[in-house]
Structure 1
């Protein structure tokens, strides 16, 4: 607690809860790769692990929502930390409070939990049609190529650029959309989550290419999306990433057509 207070002055309990939640989410995701000793337990860690280790077709929609919510917390909460820290600086003035910071974070995460619903629905449908293996990885080369190319092309879209600019300049974003009080903080959190979603949804869907339970992909994607939201690094990263994904997607599509 003292170390957090020194590194992040103010709201130590909130920051401790934030980082603990992220670590727990990563821990549960990591635990899904460990064999479960008693998968028939009705409650407890074994039950939670079984939700993620079984195939989507077996466990159903709600377990997929649970898994995507964990992924969103583990991957997307860290990418928004610079924005949260910027808002925390405002709590040292009369503009905001510790409670409003907590409400802002909750609003942001609510958007990504909302994203988990259609993502889980898409995963269930793909699994039922036989397009996903047990690791949640697409078995269709054309689908893989299309998702990779889509992510690459989206890097150059006006919506992506607008959302990325807002993520890279959180202070300007907060000033442009400021509303006081807890209700205003919730609105800001929801708006921030929507902006982040507009920035990163295409990259998140690449989980269907690498595997929805691929920890290496999750870690790499989290790092890339975090770096992209840093103004100096993001300005140099976004376009090359788009070119790489666009070319990669085109190559995968061509190879898939050749092998038909």
Structure 2
């Protein structure tokens, strides 16, 4: 099978493992940073079981976590592609659009009874300037562009989903991580502070997210393999 397998996903049950894998990633990054995760791990199990059963009537804390995770994934693809070469952006436009639509559609079913949930907005290249130029002007080559985009956007993704899932992520730490990340991956900084380096190393474990999604949904995709290799390479470089 290929990524076209994802076109068959449209029910809450179809996205149960999708949510589980993303939520476990959030838990592992947060726990690795020493943040308080409370009973998040058990809440993920309950939410996943409910999704597999097709239930959308979850307690607010579980519903918020599910909706936030799916909305974050739905919102992620378009800004990420804008950091990449035009051929890459155009090639993924159609499958990303359809998958995003289905993710939003299911997420809304879990957000219906929530008093408020904001859809995240992730950075585009024009949102990140260095000396008056977009950050992308300082990187060459597909792998370096991909790594820069991942470093910026998976930080934003994690912070949004973690906070909506009840995990406090210190704002000043996030701000410092973002500042150093942009400088480091555009060649304006030679290294990261140890705690920031640990944060990014944990975030770059999303190579396992890619592999687990591919395995669970039976994807035989060269594109997923490429993503995983680039992410794993950077995770190892940060170790």
Give the structure-1-normalised TM-score. 0.27
Report the structure, 1 or 2, having the larger helix content: 1
Q: Considering only CA atoms, is the larger Rg found in Structure 1 or Structure 2?
A: 1
Q: What TM-score, normalized to structure 2? A: 0.29
